[in-house]
Structure 1
C-alpha cells in the first residue's frame, strides 16, 4: 500500500476536507482524489494500494498454444532432418490451420527456448548475387556427391535439379558413376520431361572433356546435348558458387540422410533416396518458389525448350592399324573399334573425324583406305563398302 494514498483518503473521510481542498493540499488532481475515495469506500484500505499499470489484456501476445507448437515444430523438423527455420515453421503452422505469427516472432520464441545457436560470422543472405531461370526446363543443374554406407563403403549419388522450380528430376546412387551411366540417366529424363534449354554442371569428366589433360573426342554427355541442341554450361574451375543451387541442395539432402540410419547396401540407399525425392518434391516448401513445393512450381508454367545452335565436331588424329586390322577411336565417351582390314596391319594412318563420319587414309601416301559412320549403339564399326 502507498501511505500517501491512505493519508489523502483519511483527510477527506476523517478530517472533513472536500476533494478540491485535498487535491490542493497534497498536490494531486481532484479526479485522483475522487478515484481514491471511491476505491476506499468499495474495498477498504486495500483499494488504495498501488496497482500495476500493465494492460489487463494483450491482444498482440502470441498464445501459449502457438508458442508450444512453434517449439514442437522446431524439434520435430530437426529430428526429421528437414529445414526448421522460422519461415518453414510458419508455413507448417499455416497448413495446420493456425494463425502463424511473423517469422521475427517465431525467431524470438525459438531464442527464448534455447533452440537457436547464434552464428555471427555467417554471411548475410542479402550479400549474395542471385540468379534463377525464368521457366521450368530452362536450365537443369547436375552434380555428383557421395554418402557412406553402414560398412564404411563410399557410394556416389547423381542428382539433377531444375533451376527454376528446384524440382528434383532424378536422384540415384551407384558405386561409381561413369560417363555412359550419366548419359543413360539424362536420356531417360529427356524422354520423361522433354529436353531442357540448357544444362549447368561442374567440369567432371562425366559431364565434359573440355579440361581433360589429353584432348580428344567429346564425351557422351556432350554428344547427347549436342544431338538435342541443348546449350551446355560449365562452372569456373574451383568456383562451386556457380552451381550454388545444387550445392545448397546437397546440404538439404545430407541433413535428411543424417537423421536416418546408415543404409547397408546401395539398394537400401536407393530406397532412401526415392523416399527423399517424394518428400522433397511434394511435401517440402521452398523459400525461393514462394513457399510452394518444387512440384507445384515445376507444373505452374510452360516448359522452356532448346534454342541452341548445333555445333559440329572436327578433329584429326594419327594412329597405326593393329595386327588384326582395326583402329580404336573414342566417341561419346566410349572406345570404339573401327574395322580397316588385315591387309593394312601396321600401316600408319591419318584419321579425319567430322561428328560421326570418319575418313582413314594411309599417312604415307594419302590414299583413303576406309570410311566409317559411327553407330553410337555398338562397339565394332565395320567400314563402308
Structure 2
C-alpha cells in the first residue's frame, strides 16, 4: 500500500506523467494507471491489496460430492471401519465408477473439520518396512486385551499373514496358556496351511528365552514341524507392526459394537469381523484389494527347516553363540564352554541336553556339534580333524 500511495502522489500531486513514475519506481505503467483509477474512485480504500482469487473455478469439487464424502466419513466411523481419504475414495469409485483424488478428499475432510493435525507423529519415511514375498512365508502373532460388559478382562490372540494381511486366526480366551496358543495355531493352519515361519514378541506364551532359556510349548511344536520361530527385539513392537496395527483396527470395530457380555459373544464378533476384514474390506497396503484376494493370488510358502524331534526327557534351551563361536552350559553348578568355531559366531542355536550327552543345532535343524561333556574341563574344544 505504501508504494501505491507514492505513485498516486507523484501523478496527482506532483503532476508527473504515468510513464515517468513507472520508470522511476520500477513498476509497470498499467499498474500505475490502475492505482490512480482506484484512488479516484474509492479514495485510500482503493489502494489496499486485493485478493487475486478467481471468482469461479470450474474444477472445484461439487458441493454434492463434498457432502457425500462427509456422509461416508461419518458412516464408516460409526461402524468402526477405516474412514481415511483413500478408503472413502475407494467407496466413491465403487458407487460412481470414478472418484476425486485422495488429496482432494483429504482437503475436503480438513476443510470440514474432520482432520486434526498431529505433527508429533513419527514420519512413515523413517521406518524400515519388510513384507514377505509369498503367502504363508511368515505369520505374525500377538495377544491384546479387551474388556467385557462387566469389566472382566479378556485376551485376544490375533494371527496375521505378513504378505497378504489375511487374518488367519482371531480367538478370545480369559487367559491364554501355552497349550491354548498351540491349539489356535493348529486351527489357523488347518484353514490356511502351515507357514514357513512365525514372528512374535517375547511374551511368556511365545518364548522362554528371557525366562531361564528354556522352551515353551509353542517353540517345541514349531521345531517339530520345521517352522522357523523368530521374535522381535524387546520393547520394539514396530517389528510386529502388521499385527500391532491390526489390533487397532479390531478395537476400533469392537468399540462400535454392543459390548460383549461373555467370551462366546466376543468370539462371535471376532468371527464376523474376520470374515468382513478378509473378504470385503479394501486394504490400502494391497492396492485397495482384500486380504483374501492377495492370499489367493500367489503360490503358498511351506515349512523348509528340517523337523527336529525332541525327546521328552531332554533339557532344551535356546542361545546365541558368542563372538568366539562358543555356547555356555551349566552342569552340576559348573560352567562349561562348548566350542563350535568362529565361523558360527552370532548364530542362534538349540542346545539339547541329556545328562552328559549334548547336541547343538541351528534353528534350521542342522546339527552343528554332538558331544559327550567332559565334566573335568571348563572348555570343550572341537574335535581335531
| Shorter-chain TM band | 0.5 to 0.7
- Which among 255, 267, 278 is matched to residue 258 of structure 1? 255
| Distance apart, 1:309 and its partner CA | 3.2
Worse-matched range after superposition: 177-186 or 220-229:
220-229
Does residue 299 of the first structure (1) align with residue 296 of the second (2)? yes
Question: How far does the alpha carbon of each residue in 1:330-353 deviate from its partner, in whole angstroms, 9 at most, with x for none?
Answer: xxxxxxxxxxxxxxxxxxx96979
Report if aligned partners of 2:225, 2:308 keep a CA contact under 8 Å in 1.
no
- Tell me the equivalent position of 1:77: 76
| Distance apart, 1:97 and its partner CA | 2.0
| Distance apart, 1:192 and its partner CA | 2.3
CA distance in 1, matches of 2:267, 2:278: 16
| Distance apart, 1:193 and its partner CA | 1.6
- Which among 243, 252, 262 is matched to residue 246 of structure 1? 243
| Distance apart, 1:242 and its partner CA | 0.9
- Tell me the equivalent position of 1:9: none
| Distance apart, 1:219 and its partner CA | 2.0
| Distance apart, 1:64 and its partner CA | 2.1
Question: Any residues of structure 2 matched to 1:1-385 within 5 Å, and which?
Answer: 58-213=57-212, 215-216=213-214, 218-311=215-308, 313=310, 315=315
- SS of residue paired to 1:92: helix
CA distance in 2, matches of 1:168, 1:80: 19
- SS of residue paired to 2:249: helix
For the aligned residues, what is the CA RMSD? Answer: 2.8
Structure 1 ranges of 4+ moved more than 6 A: 53-57, 316-319, 351-355
Worse-matched range after superposition: 195-204 or 220-229:
220-229
Q: Calculate the TM-score normalised by the size of structure 1.
A: 0.66
- Tell me the equivalent position of 2:325: none
CA distance in 2, matches of 1:268, 1:312: 39
- Tell me the equivalent position of 2:341: none
- SS of residue paired to 2:157: strand
CA distance in 2, matches of 1:241, 1:54: 45
Give 5+ residue unaligned stretches, structure 2.
1-28, 31-51, 317-329, 333-353, 362-385
Question: How far does the alpha carbon of each residue in 1:217-258 deviate from its partner, in whole angstroms, 9 at most, with x for none?
Answer: x32211221122111111111111111111111111111111
Report if aligned partners of 2:224, 2:309 keep a CA contact under 8 Å in 1.
no
- SS of residue paired to 2:96: coil
CA distance in 2, matches of 1:291, 1:93: 13
CA distance in 2, matches of 1:352, 1:262: 55
Larger Rg: 1
- SS of residue paired to 1:96: helix
CA distance in 2, matches of 1:201, 1:91: 32
| Distance apart, 1:74 and its partner CA | 0.7
CA distance in 2, matches of 1:54, 1:189: 59
CA distance in 1, matches of 2:179, 2:356: 24
| Distance apart, 1:59 and its partner CA | 3.7
Report if aligned partners of 1:315, 1:353 keep a CA contact under 8 Å in 2.
no
- SS of residue paired to 1:191: helix
| Distance apart, 1:94 and its partner CA | 0.6
Worse-matched range after superposition: 53-62 or 260-269:
53-62
Question: How far does the alpha carbon of each residue in 1:125-146 deviate from its partner, in whole angstroms, 9 at most, with x for none?
Answer: 2221111101100000011101
- Alpha-carbon spacing, 1:352–1:183, altered in 2? closer, same or farther (3 Å): farther
- Alpha-carbon spacing, 1:142–1:54, altered in 2? closer, same or farther (3 Å): closer
- SS of residue paired to 1:284: coil
CA distance in 2, matches of 1:269, 1:352: 49
CA distance in 2, matches of 1:275, 1:85: 22
| Distance apart, 1:169 and its partner CA | 0.4
